[in-house]
Structure 1
Amino acid sequence: MATLSDRLDHLLGRKVAEPLAADFEIHTVEDLLRHYPHRYATQGAELGESKPPEGAHITLVATVVKADVVPFKNRSGKMLRTVLAADTQRVDATFFNPQKVAHAIKPGVRAMFSGTAKYFREQLQLTHPSYLILPAADAEPVVGGRVRGSGELADMARIAQGSDSAVDMEIFDRALIPVYPSTRDVQSWTLAKCVRQVLDQLDPVPDPLPAGIREELGLIGLDEALRLVHRPETKDDVDRARERLRFDEAAALQLVLARRRHAVDERVAPACPPRPDGLAAAFEAQLPFTLTDGQLAVAGEISADLTRAHPMNRLLQGEVGSGKTVVALRAMLQVIDAGYQCALLAPTEVLAVQHARSVRQMLGGLALAGELGADDHATRVTLLTGSMPARERQAALLDAVSGAAGIVIGTHALIQKGVEFNNLGMVVVDEQHRFGVEQRDVLRARARDGLSPHMLVMTATPIPRTIAMTVLGDLETSTLRELPRGRSPIVSNVVSATEKPAWVDRAWARIVEEVAQGRQAYVVCSRIGDGDEEPDDGGELLVDDFFTGDGSPAPVTKSSTRKAKPPKGSDAPQTAAALAVFDQLRAGPLASVRVGLLHGRLPSDEKDTAMRDFTAGDIDVLVCTTVVEVGVDVPNATVMVIVDADRFGVSQLHQLRGRVGRGAHQGLCILLTAARPEAPPFRRLSAVAGTNDGFELAQLDLAQRREGDVLGAAQSGTATTLRLLSLLDHEEVIESARAFAHAVVAEDPDLSAHPGLASMVTAGLDAAGLDFLDKS
């Protein structure tokens, strides 16, 4: 007999076990049984006497009456056209690879066929059905140990092959046949045979969930669930098994998170109670505006966290322009008042420089510590980036390690070797999704021995992984939905260059009109165009879609929106590049205004000059890449044109358009695309244009990209350590599992009294995922 912990190489032999380990990390019986079928094949309804409806999945046993290889009418190639005699009906069946099937599908052969019913002139047809040759005088289902057939019917037969290679045809009496995630070396039928062999030897599986919990939630036992998910008789069997196993996944995650929260509460962080006469109070007294009710409420939550001697671990999510930076600065000043330093980590150099500039401006004289005439409460704000000259970098490093700087703002340079702090008390991570967990963990480790700094992570539009972790309850969450008083919602329009070329002309004309009224604009491109052609995932659009050869706006035709051939030796698609658009615009439709250029590979001094000039109003239109995506604040900018808008993600588009309309005037965002209105990219852009609610867009993003690997570095997509649990679809399951996990951990933090639950955690989550959550 076998138990869940038994090794497969001992049970099935090394020859079978090694491919399972190599392709799927399946080593034990439990690993194998947790590799659930991703769907179930059915034979479909038998043909019988009546005509099946169009689209029905049917299975029939028939004799091949006629089989001819004929050419396609409208394209090159050939097909095998057959006539089948089934009961009292004749069925036409067509196969597209005659060279592979003609030797088996020939007149007189008896076989089982399965496919989707279609009709042509009332004649029943099957197109490329799966098939299995059945026993007959001259046609056996197995020849030389190999099943004669193709598709799911042949796979079923392979599952039913015994050690003597004979096929147990009783398998075709089953209503549901499991189909497993597979690879070239480990096919679905191989997995099915392994599962069948293991289940035949498996001892009854002890259940880690208390009987009371199972009864309360209406869940079946683990032993029954593992057997039913692999050997169901009915659809209800599948549903009941998945319901139980799905809860196990949710409970495993929630137990990890509950234990992690308990461990965080056990750590020691600097207690930073607010001071009525300190730097934070002086800052609030000099603010030229009144904080919104939302800002005050969130600031109160963060202040209470900082007062505790346990590390804060809070997500601050808020609409673009909702004032997160002011709230974060207020919190940092509270920490500085307690005698500690703060680090602010930004994803780009442009944003780091912008943060340093805006923080100094907001603080005014309170940021001039060490200078003549500085306020008694003043601190110092230091900037550290990777491209700084050596002398400036050494000065910044000295400010950090000596404690002279209360606030150190930087990019990834902050987490490089050699950067040390005198007394780090708080870490603020802006646009947290741009950093890996390991990177944040490095910065958090810069605190003094025995202390864990408070952690505040911020995002303007929660991306799928952020939403997933929030749903899972990993972070305390504060939300800012209220925009500052007087701020007008941004108007967004989608323009199809294919359908409305005149509207493209109008976009450039609108920019000229705004500049004439003393305002400014952005033109955003998906790539730079200097040889590094790695655009974001999405559609394609050529520079020529928007300009003629002389730089004037071009009428867009079907031919001009063709997919470009990539450069020789490159797989990169050709899209509108910032360098080309910059040249085209200033020589053409925007020749009458001052056009500047900003992208990530400009030298630091040129980037800083471009942003300074744009902020000062010396540049009317800034052609740029996504370096302006976050944090850039130019209140006079009112228009943004995003070229190749379908190249950007939902969250990215929302972030970008948040750069306009930050002052007293209405903001306008124009999304240019070559996609036609009926195409999915255009519909996605229309959804973005239809709302300014970043949280609604985050849900749209999650629905489109799914939750990603919540236990790994992947931020979105389909790769996930979760097998049956969807964070989008199973929120009620997660809530039930959360309540269960918190109750257990409150009484038994290390699960020593619940060894079955501890085992369930390690079974449901791989070691890398557990380590990842520990760091996050």
Structure 2
Amino acid sequence: MSTGFHAIRTLDKVPVSELKGVGAVLAGKLQRIGIYSIQDLLLHLPTRYMDRTRITPIGGLQPNAHYVIEGSVRASDIVIGKRRSLVVRLQDDTGTTTLRFYHFNKAQKERFAPGARLRVFGETRRGSAGLEFYHPEYESADTRNTAELEASLTPVYPATDGLSQSRLRQLSSQALQWLNHHTLQELIPEPLRDRLQQSAMADAIRFLHHPPASANLQQLADGEHPFQQRLAFEELLAHHLSLLLLRREAQAIAAPRFNESAALVNQFLQQLGFSLTAAQQRVCQEISQDLASPLPMLRLVQGDVGSGKTVVAAMAALAAAASGQQTAIMAPTEILAEQHRNNFSRWLEPLGISVAWLTGKLKVAERRQQLAAITSGEAAVVVGTHALFQADVEFARLGLVIIDEQHRFGVNQRLSLRQKGANGDYNPHQLIMTATPIPRTLAMSAYADLDCSIIDELPPGRTPVTTVVISQLRRADVIERVRLACNQGRQAYWVCTLIEESETLEAQAAEATAEMLAGLLAPLRVGLLHGRLKADEKEQIMAAFKAGELDLLVATTVIEVGVDVPNASLMIIENPERLGLAQLHQLRGRVGRGTAASHCVLLYSDPLSAQGKARLNVMRESNDGFVIAEQDLQLRGAGEVLGTRQTGEMQFRIANLQRDAHLLTGVKQCALVLMSEYPEICAAIVARWIGQNQHYLQV
């Protein structure tokens, strides 16, 4: 279908170096914030606006806001406090305020002679003398010299070192002049724009760089102005299209078709010792249909803690083995990888399916042996950590890649593993699993390249964990509760958290806590687990805890995933207010894995903020990971919840996934129309909004 594209010089093709005053040095600074072309500069929109269009009476000032005021100097004094400052009292007919300068000279002080009239612009803050302006801009308000007030709101742009607001405003004004004489393409076709009732792109950009004095400042501050929403829609569309294009590229090369062996499946299910839930059976069926197709599977399996994702993954690996293909299973930690190795070996090796093991801790001879089994194809299933990415790892016939807790891995790592299966003839199938439920909003936007399956049912016999929130002031009571549980034959975890992101400091805190608890709880056996231990030390400690040789395990958040000890029925989490809800939910999932009633104690530090109380109450009231994930999104925002998969990728200029969630349904529909009817436009929309970051699409 024709789109009306013409081979003319558009603003995305005009480099910023063509603007007046932009040499190589300034162009380099602009590139640091993603500005290469005049189009990029036009899309570099203000984050907020200052109102210099009117004078506010001093009596009407509010704290933490920008104002233009006019008045007469009543007094000017140098005050010696913690820091020497020049304090000027300014007065109009409605009240008095203070201007405070920490850096000043004699000439400045002389300008503030009593009776001098000034026009001042700045931000109000609460100070020792009421509302104060710190280092405001000012000029004489002599009627002959005073500049006219601004005609439009003053934009404040995202900046970087060496780029002042005045320089960015000047460059943006130049870019707007170019916009008057050159083309900024309307990339969304007119029929779609009409259906969506969208304004012209150029109109939205002109308005947002220079909103008139009558513009609704609150609406602009909230990002809800129709012109902001127009651009947010196109930006969300660009990210959505980028993922659909990624999916199309990943599926451009066929995958091996797996033929499931009914006999092997029956044998596998009989030896499990438990029946699959209806949800597991449904997800297995969805995966089975994908694996029977020549299109590479791209499927995300979400399942709450303990829902049985590993068995579903084993069923997929079974289908691969039955078809003569290898499966690579990648886990983010040695502990989780070790658990997967144990489970897959226990389930698959009795069926004649060999399982190899590859982590960074293997000795040279053992590693060489494992690599040989992988390269020859003798190993049908390979479990490992990031060691699977390494250059000397070669698969004979890699047909299925399973990535657990995928948000812990960067995009480049995912790409490295997939490429190990790409041999020119086919791409491997990909199954991605997470026990961190993803809110629907994020799933629609951040994972549009993946089909989604949800295991929304826990196996029978699993008991919900009872969560209580207790102050550190009752620490002694909590320690006695641990003693009682362990004396009754149960086991417990004590999780230490630190706000500093330092493995060393976390380890030191855990060591001190373990020493203290061992003294208070003697003769109970106390173990210690943290990230600074060597891999084999961690393995020995976990094995001892699982075997019941330890009563209490003091650990850092390293135990968040991959620890399965059914006899552990009590968890204490210190300073839970420092962790996200999803992480707290993951930690809590280490208990309640057996049939005994299990408890989680959130031992918080006083004073607890209002938001901290709200977050911990969510944990107390719900065991549903999806409910918790939605609350986490509201409280912490999309960037925190998404984790490392989107680090450096989903950097939105305008859109906000929470605020603009209502746009996503329209974005999804629009993207499907563009992919089918206007395929030549899709790459241009992605290029406009993602531009130089497009390399991340090659997953």
Q: TM-score, normalised to structure 1's length?
A: 0.80
Instruction: Quote how far apart the aligned CAs of 1:689 are.
Output: 3.3
Question: Following the alignment from structure 1 to structure 2, what is the Cα–Cα distance between the partners of residues 526 and 41?
Answer: 41
Corresponding residue SS for 2:639: coil
Return the letter of the residue paired with 1:579. E
Cα 1:638/1:712, change in 2 over 3 Å: closer
The residue aligned with 1:425 is 399
Q: Is the 8 A contact 1:319 1:480 kept in 2?
A: yes
Q: Is the 8 A contact 2:53 2:153 kept in 1?
A: no
Q: Is the 8 A contact 1:578 1:624 kept in 2?
A: yes
Return the match for 1:504 from 465, 469, 475: 475
Q: Deviations over 1:242-278 (max 9, x none)?
A: 122112212212222222233333221111132222x
* 1:758 has 2:683 as partner: yes
Q: Deviations over 1:550-588 (max 9, x none)?
A: xxxxxxxxxxxxxxxxxxxxxx868862222222222x2
Return the letter of the residue paired with 2:252. E
Q: Is the 8 A contact 2:84 2:102 kept in 1?
A: no
The residue aligned with 1:244 is 230
Return the match for 1:112 from 119, 129, 135: 119
Question: Following the alignment from structure 2 to structure 1, what is the Cα–Cα distance between the partners of residues 441 and 359?
Answer: 26
Question: Following the alignment from structure 1 to structure 2, what is the Cα–Cα distance between the partners of residues 135 and 459?
Answer: 63
Corresponding residue SS for 1:489: coil
Cα 1:352/1:709, change in 2 over 3 Å: closer
Q: Is the 8 A contact 2:331 2:385 kept in 1?
A: yes
Q: Is the 8 A contact 1:426 1:453 kept in 2?
A: yes
Return the letter of the residue paired with 1:578. A
Instruction: Quote how far apart the aligned CAs of 1:289 are.
Output: 1.4
Return the letter of the residue paired with 1:194. L
Q: How does 1:495-644 map to 2 (within 5 A)?
A: 495-497=470-472, 500=473, 503-526=474-497, 534-535=501-502, 577-586=509-518, 588-644=519-575
Return the match for 1:5 from 13, 37, 46: 13
* 1:213 has 2:187 as partner: no
Q: Deviations over 1:635-691 (max 9, x none)?
A: 111011223434433322211111111000122112223242346545433433332
| Long gaps (5+) in structure 2 | 1-8
The residue aligned with 1:191 is 168
The residue aligned with 1:486 is 461
Instruction: Quote how far apart the aligned CAs of 1:389 are.
Output: 2.1
Question: Following the alignment from structure 2 to structure 1, what is the Cα–Cα distance between the partners of residues 501 and 32?
Answer: 30
The residue aligned with 1:461 is 436
Cα 1:602/1:115, change in 2 over 3 Å: closer
Number of residues of Structure 1 aligned to a counterpart in Structure 2: 676
Instruction: Quote how far apart the aligned CAs of 1:353 are.
Output: 1.3
Question: Following the alignment from structure 2 to structure 1, what is the Cα–Cα distance between the partners of residues 95 and 605?
Answer: 49
Question: Following the alignment from structure 1 to structure 2, what is the Cα–Cα distance between the partners of residues 428 and 2?
Answer: 44
Q: Deviations over 1:520-567 (max 9, x none)?
A: 111222479xxxx8537xxxxxxxxxxxxxxxxxxxxxxxxxxxxxxx
Corresponding residue SS for 1:477: strand
Return the match for 2:139 from 126, 133, 140: 133
The residue aligned with 1:155 is none
* 1:670 has 2:670 as partner: no
Instruction: Quote how far apart the aligned CAs of 1:471 are.
Output: 5.1
Instruction: Quote how far apart the aligned CAs of 1:457 are.
Output: 1.2
Corresponding residue SS for 1:622: strand
Question: Following the alignment from structure 1 to structure 2, what is the Cα–Cα distance between the partners of residues 61 and 606?
Answer: 70
Question: Following the alignment from structure 1 to structure 2, what is the Cα–Cα distance between the partners of residues 59 and 651?
Answer: 45
Cα 1:62/1:712, change in 2 over 3 Å: same
Corresponding residue SS for 1:271: coil
Return the match for 2:203 from 218, 221, 224: 224
The residue aligned with 2:87 is 80
Q: In percent, how many aligned pairs have the same letter?
A: 36
Question: Following the alignment from structure 2 to structure 1, what is the Cα–Cα distance between the partners of residues 441 and 97?
Answer: 53
Q: How does 1:349-360 map to 2 (within 5 A)?
A: 349-360=334-345
Larger deviation: 98-107 or 20-29?
Answer: 98-107
The residue aligned with 1:339 is 324
Q: Is the 8 A contact 2:50 2:66 kept in 1?
A: no
Question: Following the alignment from structure 2 to structure 1, what is the Cα–Cα distance between the partners of residues 586 and 187?
Answer: 45
Q: Is the 8 A contact 2:67 2:123 kept in 1?
A: yes
Cα 1:11/1:125, change in 2 over 3 Å: closer
Q: Which has the higher helix share?
A: 2
Q: Is the 8 A contact 1:576 1:644 kept in 2?
A: no
Question: Following the alignment from structure 2 to structure 1, what is the Cα–Cα distance between the partners of residues 37 and 295?
Answer: 40
Instruction: Quote how far apart the aligned CAs of 1:219 are.
Output: 1.1
Q: How does 1:266-285 map to 2 (within 5 A)?
A: 266-277=252-263, 279-285=264-270
Q: Is the 8 A contact 2:123 2:134 kept in 1?
A: no
- RMSD (Å), alpha carbons: 3.3
Question: Following the alignment from structure 1 to structure 2, what is the Cα–Cα distance between the partners of residues 41 and 722?
Answer: 22
* 1:299 has 2:284 as partner: yes
Q: How does 1:57-72 map to 2 (within 5 A)?
A: 59-71=68-80
Question: Following the alignment from structure 2 to structure 1, what is the Cα–Cα distance between the partners of residues 559 and 261?
Answer: 36
Instruction: Quote how far apart the aligned CAs of 1:413 are.
Output: 1.3
Q: Is the 8 A contact 2:497 2:575 kept in 1?
A: yes
* 1:260 has 2:192 as partner: no
Return the letter of the residue paired with 2:667. A
Q: Is the 8 A contact 2:102 2:135 kept in 1?
A: no
Corresponding residue SS for 2:698: helix
Instruction: Quote how far apart the aligned CAs of 1:735 are.
Output: 2.1
Larger deviation: 202-211 or 387-396?
Answer: 202-211
Q: Is the 8 A contact 2:302 2:436 kept in 1?
A: yes
The residue aligned with 1:774 is 698
Return the match for 1:323 from 308, 317, 337: 308
Return the match for 2:657 from 706, 722, 727: 727
Larger deviation: 640-649 or 412-421?
Answer: 640-649
Return the match for 2:667 from 725, 733, 737: 737
Instruction: Quote how far apart the aligned CAs of 1:14 are.
Output: 3.4
Return the letter of the residue paired with 2:560. E
Instruction: Quote how far apart the aligned CAs of 1:78 are.
Output: 4.2
Return the letter of the residue paired with 1:30. Q
Cα 1:258/1:484, change in 2 over 3 Å: same
Q: Is the 8 A contact 1:471 1:731 kept in 2?
A: no
Higher-RCO chain (CA-CA 8 Å, sequence separation at least 6): 2
Instruction: Quote how far apart the aligned CAs of 1:355 are.
Output: 1.3
Corresponding residue SS for 1:655: helix
The residue aligned with 2:377 is 403
Question: Following the alignment from structure 1 to structure 2, what is the Cα–Cα distance between the partners of residues 312 and 119?
Answer: 58
Q: Is the 8 A contact 1:496 1:677 kept in 2?
A: no
